[in-house]
Chain A
Amino acid sequence: MSLAFLLIAFLTVATAAVAMALRNLIRSALLLVASWAGIAAFYLWAGAEFVAFAQVLVYVGAISMVVLFAVLLTRPSRDETEATPASAGRFLPALITGGAVLGVLAGAIVGSPLRTSAKPPAAFTVRELGLQLMGPHAAALVVIGALLTVALLGAIVIAAPGRPGDREDTR
């Protein structure tokens, strides 16, 4: 546990916590981006350069855009970007759901054996990473690609108008 790790961990968790607590959705989204950047910093600290940059490219570069778009397009006006507090009746189910997710994740992390060795691991180049992904882990890569393609097609089907001849106002 070095000072740098503690600092990164604190910033990641703190930004995520503040993002949950804020009522202003845009600020929450931007803080969430900061939290993702913190995770990227952790990867960098751990020596996983490639994963860190990929994390920034995908999360900070792309997913943040989608989140911001969703917030802006689903709020009627900018004065309503403040989320209204939920009723007390939803507090208990929310707590149970959140606790259950936390329990499953914590159980999985604690239960999985992590092999550690005293000697530092050899530096991993991007080339080796690519060979690993294209060789032993090719099946997983293909499955993820197919899943994302299906999700993309689904999004297009939902968003597309019925037929080319249909007009916006008659649907």
Chain B
Amino acid sequence: MSAPAANAMPLLERLPVALRDACTGWLPESWRWLANSLLSIVALFVVFATLFALLTLAERKILGRVQNRPGPNRAPLPFLGIRTYGLAQPLADGIKMLTKEDIVPRGADRVLHFLAPVALLAFSIMTLAVIPYGRTLLPVELDAAVLYFFAAGAATELAIFMAGWASRNKYSLLAAMRALAQLISYELPLLLSVVPVVLVAGSLSTRVIVEKQGEWLFGALPQWHVFTPWGFAGFLIFLVAALAESNRSPFDLPEAESELIAGHLTEYSGFKYALFFMAEYFGMCALSGMGVTLFLGGWQAPFPALGFIPSYGWFAAKLLALLFVFMWIRATFPRLRIDQLTRLAWKFLVPLALVNLFTAAFWVLSAGWAGPFAFARWVVAGALVVGPFLVLGRRLSTGLGPRTYRYA
């Protein structure tokens, strides 16, 4: 973490760093970085573990609301007996998970069966390290931060494969194969949708990418990447690929409960099961955080007048909004079949992402255009985004009309 001109910022803005310095300032210089890093890890873990607990409740409540039912509302606060709209539900769930018996199937590969949830959670937490949560809140500053993020994220599907294979259960193994197919298909559009951002920002550092989005058009309109033609298309591709990467509905094929019982989770119980969920939510938070960083301006305020709200507040608001979109999508769309999943990736998202790369390159080359040319710049870039979308979207499902079921 770095704090340039710390005293020039308002109190709330420099509060986290001031608190940290108050905790570790008395240490000698050589030990301080270690203490600071440990403190960052603890803070990250506490914040995201709390967020995980609340998100499980929020997800069930939102799904309930969408499906016109109350959702969990009966867990009372301990020793008080007051029901606060199910707010104590995460606590009850946690106690249940901790006290449940941990069952390992007799035929399972015991080492891998144990290692899978641990590895999954470890890699998910690692991805949280390079996201700038605020103006001064960047746990690890790396020159190749974006690359680091996707490298750590790529290892999570390997852990899902380990879980599926080690369980010695045919449903789990099918889930493992699906997880691999999904990763290979969606890694490419995810990375390709990020490349334009790197191209325009000219850096792989998350701090630089956020700072480049901090300028104002006409002094009032934010210059976030999502408000450009290539950024809008890239953000949508990123969102779809991120849903697939985090195994969220409608891409939750590895744990499709109507076909595969619970997929790779079938043979897991107790806290190992909870660890999988923790990793899923951490992964979702990390990908949403990366989406906010790359396309939605990171911790920047949407209007100059709203700058008095601290930067981490804006980041949290954007993150929660994106997480809500994830849950909304889960409540709205049915699950894809595996062939639809791979077709969508290879025939639609990958070509669109490649075209988007050209759009971004055009955007960079035409940066100096002014007057009527600025208008032409928008028209050309918009056509480059909309044209391929329409052409590919029409051809995506040709010859694949509704199925006729002869014996049903």
User: What CA separation (Å) do A53 and B130 show in the bound complex?
Assistant: 13
Least Cβ–Cβ distance between B399 and chain A, in angstroms: 10
Chain A residues near B143 (CB-CB < 8 A): 49-50, 125-126
User: What CA separation (Å) do A68 and B143 show in the bound complex?
Assistant: 32
How many of chain B's residues touch chain A, expressed as a range?
20 to 34
> Are B177 and A57 within 8 A (Cβ)?
no
Q: Which segment, of B34-42, B148-156, B337-345, B354-362, faces chain A?
A: B148-156
Partner of A127, one of B157, B183, B184, B203: B203
Tell me whether A11 is interfacial, beta carbon within 8 Å.
no
Tell me whether A69 is interfacial, beta carbon within 8 Å.
yes
> Are B112 and A49 within 8 A (Cβ)?
no
User: What CA separation (Å) do A50 and B142 show in the bound complex?
Assistant: 10
B238-256 interface mask toward A, CB cutoff 8 Å, 1 = contact, 0 = none?
Answer: 0000000000000000000
Q: Which residue of A lies closest to B155 (CB)?
A: A60
Tell me whether B162 is interfacial, beta carbon within 8 Å.
yes
Q: Report whether over half of chain A's contact residues are helix, strand or loop; otherwise say mixed.
A: helix
**A21-69 interface (Cβ within 8 A of B):** 26-27, 30, 33, 49-50, 53-54, 56-57, 60-62, 64-66, 68-69
Tell me whether A72 is interfacial, beta carbon within 8 Å.
yes
B167-204 interface mask toward A, CB cutoff 8 Å, 1 = contact, 0 = none?
Answer: 01000010001001001100100000000000000111
Q: Which residue of A lies closest to B191 (CB)?
A: A57
> Are B204 and A126 within 8 A (Cβ)?
yes
> Are B157 and A65 within 8 A (Cβ)?
yes
User: What CA separation (Å) do A63 and B124 show in the bound complex?
Assistant: 20
> Are A126 and B144 within 8 A (Cβ)?
yes
Chain B residues near A126 (CB-CB < 8 A): 143-144, 147, 203-204
User: What CA separation (Å) do A60 and B184 show in the bound complex?
Assistant: 12
> Are B168 and A56 within 8 A (Cβ)?
no
> Are B162 and A30 within 8 A (Cβ)?
yes
> Are B112 and A30 within 8 A (Cβ)?
yes
B200-231 interface mask toward A, CB cutoff 8 Å, 1 = contact, 0 = none?
Answer: 00111000000000000000000000000000
> Are A68 and B180 within 8 A (Cβ)?
yes
Least Cβ–Cβ distance between B130 and chain A, in angstroms: 10
Least Cβ–Cβ distance between A62 and chain B, in angstroms: 7
Chain B residues near A66 (CB-CB < 8 A): 184
Tell me whether A119 is interfacial, beta carbon within 8 Å.
no
How many of chain A's residues touch chain B, expressed as a range?
20 to 34
B126-169 interface mask toward A, CB cutoff 8 Å, 1 = contact, 0 = none?
Answer: 00000000000000001110011011101101100110010010
User: What CA separation (Å) do A50 and B109 show in the bound complex?
Assistant: 35
Tell me whether A167 is interfacial, beta carbon within 8 Å.
no
Tell me whether A78 is interfacial, beta carbon within 8 Å.
yes
> Are B144 and A53 within 8 A (Cβ)?
yes
> Are A62 and B184 within 8 A (Cβ)?
yes
User: What CA separation (Å) do A54 and B151 show in the bound complex?
Assistant: 7
Chain A residues near B204 (CB-CB < 8 A): 126
> Are A65 and B184 within 8 A (Cβ)?
yes
> Are B187 and A53 within 8 A (Cβ)?
no
Chain B residues near A125 (CB-CB < 8 A): 143
User: What CA separation (Å) do A68 and B164 show in the bound complex?
Assistant: 12
Least Cβ–Cβ distance between B200 and chain A, in angstroms: 14
Least Cβ–Cβ distance between A56 and chain B, in angstroms: 4
Q: Which residue of B lies closest to A26 (CB)?
A: B165
User: What CA separation (Å) do A98 and B162 show in the bound complex?
Assistant: 30
Q: Which residue of A lies closest to B173 (CB)?
A: A78
Chain B residues near A64 (CB-CB < 8 A): 158
Partner of B161, one of A50, A53, A68, A78: A68
Q: A49-B142, A127-B202, A127-B203 are in contact. Are A61 and B173 (CB under 8 A)?
A: no
What would 27 A/B residue contacts be, using CB atoms closer than 8 Å?
A: A49-B144, A50-B143, A53-B144, A53-B151, A56-B152, A56-B155, A57-B147, A57-B151, A57-B154, A60-B151, A60-B155, A61-B150, A61-B151, A61-B154, A61-B155, A61-B183, A61-B187, A65-B158, A65-B161, A65-B183, A65-B184, A68-B180, A72-B173, A72-B177, A78-B173, A125-B143, A126-B147
Known: A53-B144, A61-B150, A126-B147. 4 other contacts (CB 8 A): A56-B151, A57-B150, A57-B154, A60-B158
Closest CB pairs A-B (n = 5): A61-B154, A56-B151, A53-B147, A57-B151, A53-B151
* Chain A residues in the interface with B (C-beta under 8 A): 26-27, 30, 33, 49-50, 53-54, 56-57, 60-62, 64-66, 68-69, 72, 78, 125-127
